[in-house]
């Protein structure tokens, strides 16, 4: 009996030792796995570590395929967008000349006829001139030789000198002087040398669309009512044709010319009103940027800089802003009062102030402002 008890105690001791050894081995294995995990995580962070990395950089990296797709689609579809602008504008001009102008000459007084002919043709000339100059004028690019520039940074994408207010366009794959944005409707970048043409085109196109919408409001109502009447009479004609007897006469039908005239008037008014709203909002946005002496890109940069300096108790000042009135004079190239007529109200291919490489005080600025970023 005692021998059995001893044997049982020995077996139990052996079993407990095995359990202890299993626990130790299991804990040791878990510790090894945990150490390997921490070591791998540390190696990965050491390979990808960058002191400048933040949430914005990670988000840009994740959206890089989307940016690539948008850049290439915009580059190839730029010609399509330009053709669309020319086609839609030409269709409106054709409707005005074919449908509306004969009606204006027959029904309006001589004073109103002179007004419409003068203003309409002036507005059309300004639209065509500024759009042509905006799509054919190069926005300006910095020189590749570094010796020609002083105090500039280097673009990390094209590895070339990058003057102040210059930014790299991923669609054109070049740096652009005083870049505002890449416009697919121009198939060109908006920069130092064609920024005025772009804004003038937007302004005069908006004015032309508002002019067509206001002038054609009464014609639009009459044309829309006529189209509704056409639909009603067409429905009655089909009903009569289905149940026609020898004494019934079908309602009169409208000719193709009448249908085309009324539908063209409705098309003109709807298109002009839509473009006036959309392009008018864009024009007001750019007018506000010009008033502050900024571009679309600088608007975001200056806002972040303003918030950063505000946390430090400092005030941000735009070094390229000379005051609201002087900003407009610099942007439009108005040096003397007569330039408001010859350079603003009439087509003018004059160059902007400066070369886009350095930003000295323009001669049209009345007083010099402190070119400080922060005080």
For residue 375, what are its two tokens?
Answer: 């005080």
DSSP of 81-115, one letter per residue? HHHHHHHHHHHHHHHIIIIIHHHHHHHS-HHHHHH
The number of CA neighbours under 13 Å toward the Cβ of 327 is 18
Q: Which residues contact 14 (CB under 8 A, 6 or more apart)?
A: none
| Residue where the block lists tokens 């203003």 | 119
| Separation between Cα atoms, residue 160 and residue 149, nearest integer Å | 11
- The burial class, CB within 10 Å (0-12 / 13-18 / 19+), for 106 is exposed
Cα 118 from chain centre: 33
Q: Which residues contact 161 (CB under 8 A, 6 or more apart)?
A: 142, 143, 144, 145, 146, 148, 149, 152, 153, 154, 155
Phi/psi zone of residue 354: left (φ > 0), alpha (ψ -120 to 50 degrees), beta?
left
Q: Considering 99, 183, 189, 272, which one is annotated as catalytic?
A: 183
298-304: list long-range contacts, CB under 8 Å, 24+ apart. Answer: 298/165
For residue 133, what are its two tokens?
Answer: 């100059």
183 catalytic per annotation: yes
**Beta strand ranges found along 22-81 (DSSP E):** none
| Separation between Cα atoms, residue 263 and residue 227, nearest integer Å | 7
- The burial class, CB within 10 Å (0-12 / 13-18 / 19+), for 262 is buried
Residues identified as active-site = 183
């Amino acid at each position: 009996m005692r021998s059995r008890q001893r044997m049982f105690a020995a077996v139990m001791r052996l079993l407990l030792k095995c359990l202890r050894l299993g626990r130790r081995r299991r804990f040791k294995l878990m510790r090894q796995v945990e150490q390997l995990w921490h070591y791998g995580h540390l190696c990965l962070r050491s390979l990808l570590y960058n002191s400048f990395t933040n949430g914005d950089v990670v988000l840009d990296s994740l959206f890089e395929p989307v940016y690539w797709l948008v850049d290439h689609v915009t580059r190839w579809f730029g010609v399509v967008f330009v053709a669309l602008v020319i086609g839609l504008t030409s269709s409106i001009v054709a409707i005005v000349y074919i449908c509306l102008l004969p009606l204006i000459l027959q029904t309006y007084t001589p004073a109103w006829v002179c007004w419409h002919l003068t203003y309409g043709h002036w507005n059309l000339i300004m639209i065509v001139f500024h759009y042509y100059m905006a799509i054919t004028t190069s926005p300006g690019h910095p020189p590749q030789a570094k010796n020609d520039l002083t105090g500039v940074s280097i673009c990390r994408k094209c590895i070339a000198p990058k003057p102040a207010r210059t930014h790299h366009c991923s669609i054109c794959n070049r740096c652009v002087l005083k870049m505002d944005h890449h416009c697919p409707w121009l198939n060109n970048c908006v920069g130092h040398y064609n920024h005025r043409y772009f804004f003038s085109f937007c302004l005069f196109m908006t004015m032309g669309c508002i002019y067509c919408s206001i002038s054609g409001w009464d014609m639009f109502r009459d044309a829309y009512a006529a189209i509704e009447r056409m639909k009603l009479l067409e429905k009655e004609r089909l009903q009569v044709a289905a149940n026609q007897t020898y004494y019934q006469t079908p309602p009169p039908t409208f000719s193709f010319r009448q249908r085309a005239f009324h539908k063209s008037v409705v098309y003109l008014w709807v298109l002009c009103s839509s473009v006036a709203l959309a392009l008018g909002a864009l024009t007001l946005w750019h007018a506000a940027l010009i008033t502050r002496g900024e571009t679309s890109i600088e608007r975001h940069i200056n806002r972040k800089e303003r918030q950063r300096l505000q946390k430090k108790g400092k005030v941000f000042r735009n070094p390229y802003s000379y005051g609201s009135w002087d900003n407009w004079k610099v942007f439009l190239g108005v040096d003397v009062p007569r330039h408001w007529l010859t350079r603003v109200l009439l087509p003018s291919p004059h160059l902007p102030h400066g070369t886009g490489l350095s930003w000295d005080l323009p001669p049209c600025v009345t007083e010099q402002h402190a070119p400080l970023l922060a005080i």
